[in-house]
A and B are shown apart, each in its own frame.
Chain A
């Protein structure tokens, strides 16, 4: 939590001025009953009209000064809370950008998004409310009591008893309801799940004629929800009558003792009224305070979740090398490399030994979850090898500066991801200085030029968020082109022809083979036809290499490979 304090930077003044003005306002408000008492005692009883005018003027003045200080307080509170949260959000975003994938995985993408958006928003409103009310409500409550003491000690003891009782009731009921609300929320989530399930599974439910049963299930859960809601409702319904009774009992006591004190000449009638007025002020503020008390733990929990992100250290140490020896014998080397994700029980990649010369192509094949993507993700240091080492052009990847290391690669990910912006902007991502000719050339190799030139605006066609205005196959080809524009020394295609039909896929493979700059290429696929023409193929199963060799060698020596080959190709019409 403490770590967050520094994001008040630039707003520390606001963090103090907001509550300060709020206190000021509260003080002005506390003076009002005093003035009224004066009007009654001096003005009315003395029949002094000018005095009444003067004092009513004072009331207006108090209101105006109060308004001015609240406005100042609200302004500073808004500025402070919003400023703090914008600082925080920005810092969190920058921090996330600097984290390695190990940390991103353990935090989880959807959780990170919630933390950056709704969590920070909750912090913001909580902070804003705290800056405004944290000081005001207690000051009004205790101020009223202190004012009562200055008027008459004996009558003020009534305040001393009433305030704790009211506090216990208001805060107690509120706190008691919080866990109940949580329970209601859980029941609501259950209802949500049931409804969602029934919408996505309508066909199956109807095919099995389960409609009535599902309705029964829903009605039952809904009844539970309704019961929970009613329970909370019943408890909170007690708050108003209870506080009403207590405040009014206190006023009754006040008037009763007031009468005795007036008789003995200690109090005046006006002062009794002032005490009465102070008592009435307390309740409203206590209820506000209770609401604040609810929102503080909520905001604090959210703040903690954000702090967790900021306190997550990056586990990846950056290297320094910003050049590579392109004459090295091997462009890619795995030396007994293993990868175990943090928290996992077993290695995802185990003891891989493999060397590739510049310009060679490697095919990676195996069933889902066998570690194909993990194997290639060690190259640009998305993840670090947890055993052995990975070398690029003769140097351990850990020795390179990260951004330089990644610029060596053209990486086409399994999941297509283009950014909003024009086609050209996307193409230039990896190669800022690329000319239109370079881009067109890459697009042609990626089999994408055909459709790009037909797009309205061609290279200036604007890609929407989430590439919503492109088909899956188009996005995939653009991603491939993007990797090619930078003329990478090492090209990685991670299952990146899944959305392409067979003929486009084969044309693409041919085009990549004919690239002038002859990159080392690593091709990950589940299709034998995609990898069979590679110089070398590695067959993975459960993270281990079942076989490494050319297509012909593997057919002879590797049973796994033969099985995959036969199931995919031979059975489909005896083609080879």
Chain B
């Protein structure tokens, strides 16, 4: 909490001058706007049946007009400044959060739900903005209003002012009391709503199962039951929450009546004028408003701070270690060595231990093992998505922890099973690794991977936009695009993750041939599922429970009769 506020102040510090001006403007515009009723009161005082001094009335009203105009200008300027401070600050926060996302260690991203991180950058930042804006526009003005009003009322008549000042907090108590009770009802309501949404989701998402087993009636019973509970709770929640306004209004009415009484009695005894009474009545009306607003703003601000805390948590997360000053890898031939490497995702579950592997240029390494055995761990280490715990991995004899990440990663072409495409056109996706590729190079690469034929049939060819998550393309087509992407950038080493998902036979054959072309003469690491791929590898790494337990060629491993042989026999015969 304290840290968040500190962070917040640091962030706002950049707008220090604007902030200062905003506060000054708030005080000035409030004072001026509250001066208006006094002028009106004075003018009304002149309107007595016994003879009106019109020149005085006109003078007072003219003055009021000037004050009104000035107030409006100040209010407007304050609005503009608050607007700017708020949205500039939120933009800054979002930029910082996004930059952090790009430099976070993968372990952080892997261990946090996408939805959670997203909501920090999007909705938390939004709520933070709302809170900030409301804070600026209402908090300062609210406080200024209370203080200035009190001052003016005391100036007009201390006794009557006291009546207003003492009674007003009543409305805040009432509002607080109601709000506190409503909160739990709203919470209950959102729980029931969640339950109902889950049911609807289950029934509509599983509509086929529902009708295949005649579950409709049971589903309806469950729905009606939840719906009934929701009705009672919602009705209560809405009713109780709608009590805040009328009850505070009632309290205000009481205050108004009391001020009116005290004022009228004072006026009879000559303690104040009728104009004074009308001014004080106008104040009494305004005096309660900022109290209610401030209590609303405080909750909003608390909420905003919680949101800010969640964003700052992300921003303050340590970045991956910097690689500044390290040399870049150049002249990659494809010599990779893993030397005595140990690694685990969490210290209580050791995974890879003392692993050694030497790969000469152009050789193919197949990684096999049952699902969930940690085949992707090796990819994580080779690409330096994760750092080894001990030992080292070298490329061309250089420790990859001591060279720039960029030069290492540019050395690899990577095709993952999860065929990720960015939003943009087909072309944007293909040229990711080589933004300056010519048209010929692009089509050549696409032809080599057999992607050209489907791309040219798309409505806008290479300029067809790819839907969110590649929505408008089939799994096989997405895979071909990912391969084309790597084909175009022609890196010296490859990391491939074969798809296990069901793509149809014809496309699969194409993908297969595309992989084959891609791998020609390059050092490649393949997470393999297909027997033909496995058998053509120079070396097979057999993994189980995160550890490499056997390695060798297909023949050697079969002869050994270990886990690989067992796996082979159970799956392929």
Q: Hey, which bits of chain A sit against chain B, CB under 8 A?
A: 25, 32, 36, 39-40, 43-45, 47, 49, 52-53, 56, 59-60, 62-64, 66-67, 70-71, 74-75, 77-79, 81-83, 86, 89-90, 93-94, 96-98, 101, 104, 109, 112-113, 116-117, 121, 124, 128, 132, 188, 191-212, 214-215, 218-219, 222-223, 225-226, 229-230, 233-234, 237-238, 240-242, 244-245, 248-249, 251-252, 255-256, 258-259, 262-263, 265, 268-270, 272-273, 276-277, 280, 367-370, 377, 380, 382, 403, 406-407, 409, 411, 413, 415, 417, 419-420, 429-430, 465-466, 479, 482, 498, 501-503, 526, 563-564, 567-568, 571-573, 575
Contacts and interface: CB of A to CB of B under 8 A. Distances in A.
A251 B58 contact: no
A132 B201 CA distance: 33
Contacts of B207: 101, 104, 109
Contacts of B213: 406, 429-430, 482
Contact of B409 (A25, A197, A207): A207
Given A93-B223, A193-B423, A230-B83, A36 B281 contact: yes
Interface string B79-110: 11011101110110011001101110010010
Contacts of A67: 246-247, 249-250, 253
B383 A244 contact: no
Contacts of A211: 102-103
Given A132-B242, A430-B214, A269 B423 contact: no
A367 B506 contact: yes
A52 to B, nearest CB: 5
A568 B532 CA distance: 11
Contacts of B219: 97
A195 B314 CA distance: 14
Contacts of A268: 49
B420 A200 contact: yes
Given A78-B235, A380-B212, 9 more contacts: A40-B274, A63-B254, A86-B227, A188-B126, A206-B383, A214-B102, A280-B282, A482-B213, A575-B572
A112 to B, nearest CB: 5
25 contacts: A25-B246, A43-B264, A44-B277, A52-B261, A191-B94, A196-B114, A197-B422, A200-B420, A203-B420, A222-B94, A226-B88, A233-B87, A240-B79, A241-B75, A244-B72, A256-B61, A258-B47, A262-B49, A263-B52, A413-B208, A413-B209, A430-B212, A503-B570, A567-B508, A573-B573
A157 B405 CA distance: 77
A63 B253 contact: yes
A128 B234 CA distance: 12
A165 B406 CA distance: 63
A97 B47 contact: no
Given A117-B196, A269-B47, A269-B48, A251 B257 contact: no
Contact of B65 (A212, A215, A249): A249
B96 to A, nearest CB: 11
B433 to A, nearest CB: 5
Contacts of A116: 200
B390 interface: no
Contacts of B401: none
Given A67-B249, A237-B79, A503-B570, A465 B504 contact: no
A415 B207 CA distance: 11
A79 B506 CA distance: 61
Given A97-B220, A204-B420, A417-B209, A209 B410 contact: yes
Contacts of B247: 67
Interface string B352-368: 00000000000000000
B231 A86 contact: yes
A259 B47 contact: yes
Contact of A230 (B64, B87, B231): B87
The 9 closest A-B pairs by CB, nearest first: A367-B504, A237-B79, A63-B253, A233-B83, A417-B206, A241-B72, A59-B257, A70-B246, A417-B209
Contact of B204 (A112, A233, A262): A112
Nearest to A243: B72
B68 interface: yes
B292 interface: no
Contacts of B205: 109, 417
Nearest to A568: B505
Interface of B: 33, 36, 40, 43-44, 46-49, 52, 54, 57-58, 61, 64-65, 68-69, 71-73, 75-76, 79-80, 82-84, 86-88, 90-91, 94-95, 98-99, 101-103, 106, 109, 114, 117-118, 121-122, 126, 129, 133, 193, 196-198, 200-216, 219-220, 223-224, 227-228, 230-231, 234-235, 238-239, 242-243, 245-247, 249-250, 253-254, 256-258, 260-261, 264-265, 267-268, 274, 277-278, 281-282, 285, 383, 385, 405-406, 409-410, 412, 414, 416, 420, 422-423, 432-433, 468-469, 474-475, 485, 489, 502-506, 508-509, 530-532, 570-573
Contacts of A56: 257-258, 260-261, 264
B200 A241 contact: no
B118 A192 contact: yes
A198 B98 contact: yes
Contacts of B277: 40, 44
Contact of A573 (B204, B504, B572): B572
B572 A259 contact: no
Contact of B249 (A66, A234, A256): A66
A26 to B, nearest CB: 12
A222 B95 CA distance: 7
A411 B212 contact: yes
A273 B508 contact: no
Nearest to A62: B253
Nearest to A191: B122
Given A101-B207, A233-B87, A252 B64 contact: yes
Of B90, B98, B202, B210, which is in contact with the most chain A CB atoms at under 10 Å from its CB? B98
B264 A39 contact: yes
Contacts of B209: 413, 417, 419, 479
A226 B90 contact: yes
Nearest to A75: B239
Contacts of B216: 97-98
A464 to B, nearest CB: 10
B282 A199 contact: no
B406 A209 contact: yes
Of A47, A248, A571, which is in contact with the most chain B CB atoms at under 10 Å from its CB? A248
Given A206-B385, A276-B40, A44 B65 contact: no
A199 B214 contact: no
B246 A74 contact: yes
Given A82-B235, A222-B91, A272 B47 contact: yes
Given A214-B102, A262-B47, A575-B572, A101 B208 contact: yes
Contact of B246 (A71, A82, A197, A368): A71
Contacts of B76: 237-238, 240-241
A252 B64 CA distance: 8
B222 to A, nearest CB: 9
Nearest to B109: A202
A199 B109 contact: yes
A203 B242 contact: no
Contacts of B202: 417, 419-420, 465-466
Contacts of A49: 265, 268
B49 A265 contact: yes
A558 to B, nearest CB: 14
Given A81-B238, A269-B48, A277 B281 contact: yes
Contacts of B208: 101, 377, 382, 411, 413, 415, 417
B265 to A, nearest CB: 6
B69 A245 contact: yes
A66 B542 CA distance: 81
